Structure 1
Amino acid sequence: MQIRGREVITMSWTEVWAFAIAYWLPILFFVYMATDVILRNPRKLEHRVLCINAIAYILLLTEEYIRHQLPISYSPALVALWFSNVGIMMPGLGFHFMAKFAGLDKLMPRYLYPGIFYLPLLVVLVNLLSHKKIISSSEFFQVGVWKYPVYNTSYYIALTISILISVMYLIVLFIGKAREDDKGHKAILRLLVIGVVLCTCWHVAFGYFQYEGVIPPYAYTYGGIIWCFVLRLAMIRHEFLDFASKRYEKLFNLNPAAILLVDQAGTIKEANPSARQLFGPMDLERECFFKLSNAQLEARIRSRSEIKDYETEITNGEKRVDVLIDGDYVSVDHEPHAILIVRDITLQKENQAEIRFLAYHDPLTRLPNRRYFYEKLNEAIRLAEDHRYRLAVILIDLDDFKETNDQYGHEAGDEVLRHVARLIGETAESIGMAARLGGDEFVLFIQHAPSEPFVDETMARLRQRVQEAELLYRGHPLAIRMSVGASRFPEDGTDGDALLMKADKAMYRSKRAGTAVPAR
């Protein structure tokens, strides 16, 4: 109900429903669209531009609702200062979105993008300063509840320009579609083309022709509903504007595996918390992933080849890390990117290496075990046969080792074994191979023993090292006594068992003769 002086004007329920359907329902729809789009990813330019575009439609419909609540004399000013100026801004927003989504922003010079899209704002300034209202109607008439403009030449010129702009939208979309390789983006661009065509047809049908008394004035503005419907359809079918949705963001952030988004130049665009933990103190946004990996992985990413269970090493700034990488490719901002799932398998590789090592080595002394020693000794014997040179086997037994265990404990005994194993291993390193046969018994072979004195010199050098290398256990020096015996190939045998048996007999003769070697 409106009161003008003594005149009381009552609005009928028909008028209330007409305005609600014509303006409030579309306003609510555009509010929903603006909120939905901006909440999906407020940091992305496409989301912000589309949100502002939806707000522009809200402003147009709000102006029309207010205009119909006021006397018709207010219509020229409201349309000129509000409706027309908002309409002038909308093509620039449309072009900005189309160019960005179609990837044309990468082709445009920096001094043009995006400023060129908003040059029509100068017309807004002219329209505000002009008393002639050059792009809007200045005369209105009423039919029923609706207040229609008298469409003049300026109106038809502005409408025609807006339709030509819609045709230019199509050109931008077709260029983007021709450049796009990703099937998903192509499908979205096709939907957008359909949306622009439908909106253009709507503008022609309801802009050039008047339907007085049947539909509200400026009915072509409802083409925005078609446009938003097409966007909504793209969101549902192709997850358009949904690549940063919360569900995937949580999965990305909570995943225990390191996840990287890498472009074709190797720039790390995104990294989840697990990736930042894997790479430690490195600033991933400043690093090139290709410098952290290898040339083969770089070639795979650049050629968009399959990356599945790819095992390699990467550097995390402090050390090399063994990793297993799985990857796939997506288009982000119209550029191909690789999503890499990187799992640290360093500990797993170390455990596997340790298992392989322990299959052939003694876990306490880290020397080769009996099995491995026999394999290598027999290989050395075959080489000695082929090249007709001599080989020697030296057997070492620790004397009074049981007394050391009884007096100081098994921990002291282990220290003795590790100490002696290190000295024997270092002695054999350049001339052959050493091993622990078991208990307190060690053995080594000399790959090439040119003479008897060479073997005797090797045993003497080992004795001297044992004597000079003092071993302290909790402040107490541990006495180490050892008996040594040697055998020679081919004089004492032509296989490993025979040579070890002969060396064992020589070692026990030494032990019985009391020529064991004391150390400290």
Structure 2
Amino acid sequence: MNDSHVWVVAYAALLACLAVCSLWLWQSRRALAREERRLRQMVDQWPEPMLIFRDGRLMRCNRAAADLVGYPSVTSLFGKSLVSLSPAYQPENQPSSRRVDELRRRALAGDVVQADWMLTRADGRRIWVAMTLAPVYQRGMQTPAVLCAWHDITRQKLFEEQNKLALTVFKNAREAIFITDAQGLVMDINDAYSQITGRSYEQAVGQLPPLPVDEGSSVLIVARHRGVWSGEFASQRRDGQQRVINLTLSSVLDDQGEPSHFVGVFSDITRQKEAEKQLRFMAHFDALTRLPNRVLFADRLQQAMAQARRHDFQLAVVYIDLDQFKPVNDAFGHDAGDGLLLEVARRMRSILREEDTLARLGGDEFAAVVMNVPDAGSLELLLDRLLVRIAEPVWVVNHSVEVSASMGYTLFPQAGDIDGDQLLRQADRAMYQAKREGKNRYCRFQDSAG
């Protein structure tokens, strides 16, 4: 009879565990679905071609990407690899597959990678794009997806290769084209030149074209001796607007082999640069709080540890987990949860110093690197202030809510060799000790082996 009772209790406990696990999995899938939905919306609404690759296969793209490569719908691109959208060899005679592997490897390692790339459209025509690849980290995924942005530079490439032949038709080009004399003074321009610079034909002729401020006429010297100069630089329109210009300047030789003219081709790449800036931000910062993400936190922690060794000071790694965040999120919705995270992040950032780093690791978990810590007592005074500030009521979606925080910390340097990941794990273990002791408190890491 006793044995039967034990089996009934064990079976009930097993069912309870299964129910809890099922609930946790359901909530994790919902959170992942929200993140994927945000990413899909960003890609769909982006004005330039944008795609997402996972494990080398296209899983999402926008209408602009499908139009650029001539496919009837975005879904007709799903499952394709970047190699399948490219010729077998890039113009440098490098296999596209090998080059893709190299670029993808760098992006998965955390780099924002840029390259000029040749694509093959559905109709067989080849086009050039300025391609930017960046990692996108999603909750629950072991490896990041790769976000890919394209900017069509086919025309620019064409004019770089055939600018001598294009002199007779340059006025119809979308890129700005100008011709100068041997001294670099403008003799003729096309309509795109006026559109980008805001200068009319009369205002441009007889003046220098847009050139890098820090290099100026030396650009003409380089083009005269080497035959071509190419680069990107900031330029100001006549109305004062700042633009980013991509210029290729080539010399034209006379019958004696001496430069008689210069031909310049440039395009306005301001939008492309803004997209690249956004991609870099997404690779290293949390989209909601705009705090550093786990990747950037790890990099800053390594830098801080190197400084601590070099300048002989002590730093602390603090792991912060919000208590009772989930009930707020469940009761009032995800907008309330997001608002709460934003306010808590702002409060913590206001207490930490400029030299300290605060990052959002994911969900309701944060971490901080506190520099120049004189001793544990000084650090704990700072942590007391953080606990008090976090626990103050927060007004979100017409409700006043309260949460607290459990914190764990560890100090560096330590007696033995240790890396940044180990420091973060130590702080994480100390944080869980704080939760076990009742939450709304902090604990210092204690090595159980010691």
Q: With structure 2 as the length reference, what TM-score do the two structures score?
A: 0.50
1:365-405 deviations in whole A, cap 9, x for unaligned?
Answer: 33222233233323433443444322111111122222222
Give the C-alpha shift of residue 443 in structure 1: 0.2
Give yes or no for the alignment of 1:409 onto 2:333.
Answer: yes
Q: Which residue of 2 aligns with 1:484?
A: 407
Structure 2 CA distance for aligned equivalents of residues 252 and 429 of structure 1: 56
Map 1:348-497; keep pairs closer than 5 Å: 348-428=272-352, 430-463=354-387, 465-466=389-390, 472-490=395-413, 494-497=418-421
Give the C-alpha shift of residue 514 in structure 1: 4.1
Do the aligned partners of 2:336 and 2:397 also contact (CA within 8 Å) in 1?
no
Structure 1 CA distance for aligned equivalents of residues 402 and 167 of structure 2: 67
* CA distance 1:298–1:398, shift in 2 (3 Å): same
Structure 1 CA distance for aligned equivalents of residues 228 and 343 of structure 2: 48
Map 1:55-454; keep pairs closer than 5 Å: 251-263=169-181, 267-280=185-198, 282=199, 285-286=202-203, 288-289=207-208, 293-301=212-220, 304-305=224-225, 306-316=227-237, 317-329=239-251, 336-428=260-352, 430-454=354-378
* CA distance 1:252–1:420, shift in 2 (3 Å): farther
Structure 2 CA distance for aligned equivalents of residues 330 and 455 of structure 1: 67
* CA distance 1:300–1:500, shift in 2 (3 Å): closer
Letter paired with 2:197? F
* CA distance 1:386–1:312, shift in 2 (3 Å): closer
Do the aligned partners of 2:315 and 2:412 also contact (CA within 8 Å) in 1?
yes
* CA distance 1:481–1:271, shift in 2 (3 Å): farther
More strand by share: 2
1:478-507 deviations in whole A, cap 9, x for unaligned?
Answer: 534322222222459743344323322332
Alignment RMSD (CA, Å) = 3.7
Structure number with greater Rg is 1
* CA distance 1:481–1:313, shift in 2 (3 Å): same
Structure 2 CA distance for aligned equivalents of residues 419 and 495 of structure 1: 31
Do the aligned partners of 2:387 and 2:404 also contact (CA within 8 Å) in 1?
no
Give the C-alpha shift of residue 343 in structure 1: 1.6
Q: Which residue of 2 aligns with 1:116?
A: none
* CA distance 1:417–1:272, shift in 2 (3 Å): farther
SS at match of 2:217: helix
Structure 1 CA distance for aligned equivalents of residues 422 and 251 of structure 2: 64
Structure 2 CA distance for aligned equivalents of residues 294 and 440 of structure 1: 47
1:199-240 deviations in whole A, cap 9, x for unaligned?
Answer: xxxxxxxxxxxxxxxxxxxxxxxxxxxxxxxxxxxxxxxxxx
1:96-154 deviations in whole A, cap 9, x for unaligned?
Answer: xxxxxxxxxxxxxxxxxxxxxxxxxxxxxxxxxxxxxxxxxxxxxxxxxxxxxxxxxxx
SS at match of 1:296: coil
* CA distance 1:381–1:260, shift in 2 (3 Å): same
Structure 1 CA distance for aligned equivalents of residues 182 and 358 of structure 2: 52
Letter paired with 2:245? V
Give the C-alpha shift of residue 274 in structure 1: 2.1
Give the C-alpha shift of residue 341 in structure 1: 0.7
Letter paired with 2:191? P
Structure 1 CA distance for aligned equivalents of residues 266 and 366 of structure 2: 45
Structure 1 CA distance for aligned equivalents of residues 263 and 350 of structure 2: 49
Instruction: Return 389-398 or 291-300, whichever deviates more.
Output: 291-300
1:21-68 deviations in whole A, cap 9, x for unaligned?
Answer: xxxxxxxxxxxxxxxxxxxxxxxxxxxxxxxxxxxxxxxxxxxxxxxx
Letter paired with 1:296? E
* CA distance 1:379–1:260, shift in 2 (3 Å): same
Aligned positions, number = 268
SS at match of 1:324: strand
Give the C-alpha shift of residue 290 in structure 1: 5.6
Do the aligned partners of 1:292 and 1:315 also contact (CA within 8 Å) in 2?
no
Letter paired with 1:402? K
Structure 1 CA distance for aligned equivalents of residues 399 and 251 of structure 2: 65
* CA distance 1:248–1:374, shift in 2 (3 Å): closer
Q: Which residue of 2 aligns with 1:507?
A: 431
* CA distance 1:394–1:324, shift in 2 (3 Å): same
Structure 2 CA distance for aligned equivalents of residues 450 and 406 of structure 1: 41
Structure 2 CA distance for aligned equivalents of residues 267 and 476 of structure 1: 66
Give the C-alpha shift of residue 467 in structure 1: 5.8
Do the aligned partners of 2:406 and 2:439 also contact (CA within 8 Å) in 1?
yes
Give the C-alpha shift of residue 324 in structure 1: 1.7
Letter paired with 2:240? E
Q: Which residue of 2 aligns with 1:236?
A: none
Give the C-alpha shift of residue 436 in structure 1: 1.7
More helix by share: 1
SS at match of 2:374: coil
Give the C-alpha shift of residue 314 in structure 1: 1.8
Structure 1 CA distance for aligned equivalents of residues 315 and 175 of structure 2: 53
Q: Percent identity?
A: 33
Q: Which residue of 1 aligns with 2:120?
A: none
Structure 2 CA distance for aligned equivalents of residues 467 and 253 of structure 1: 66
Do the aligned partners of 1:308 and 1:326 also contact (CA within 8 Å) in 2?
yes
Structure 2 CA distance for aligned equivalents of residues 416 and 284 of structure 1: 56
Q: Which runs of 5+ in 1 are unaligned?
A: 1-244
Do the aligned partners of 2:317 and 2:409 also contact (CA within 8 Å) in 1?
yes
Structure 2 CA distance for aligned equivalents of residues 511 and 261 of structure 1: 71
